[in-house]
Amino acid sequence: MSKDKDKERDDKDLEGADKRKSMGRRRGCKFCSDENIKIDYKDASLLKYFITDRGKLVPRRLSGNCARHQRAIARAVNQARMIALMPFSVTGT
């Protein structure tokens, strides 16, 4: 009896694996690969790539940054917002 339940459970696990999407290859951190690029709050043109159209930070899994550089970007964006180089939120439509 227990063998039948185990087989059913294994079949269900295999069905779930088919439904999952594969993530593909993970991108490397842009800042780790190129040491010449520095994260600076005064460089709004660099920081704008890590902000959505709503004004939110792009998460690590989408931007491909490592944890250390993602924290540095968040800190730089907050500094740039404080001195009005970047908006806190986007107003409009």
CA–CA separation, 56 vs 76, rounded Å?
13
pLDDT digits (tens, 9 = 90+) for 18-63: 566 666 676 789 999 998 999 999 999 999 999 998 889 999 999 9
Q: Which single residue is written with the structure tokens 């993602």? A: 70
**What domain count does the chain have?**
1
Query: Is the model's pLDDT at 79 over the cut of 80?
Result: yes
Contacts of 10 (CB under 8 A, 6+ apart): none
Is 3 domain-assigned?
no
88 lies in which domain range? 31-93
CATH of the domain at 87: 4.10.640.10
Whether pTM > 0.95 for this model: the answer is no
CA–CA separation, 44 vs 26, rounded Å?
26
> What is the DSSP code string of 14-59?
HHHHHHSPP--PPPPPHHHH-TT----TT-HHHHGGGB-TTSPBPP
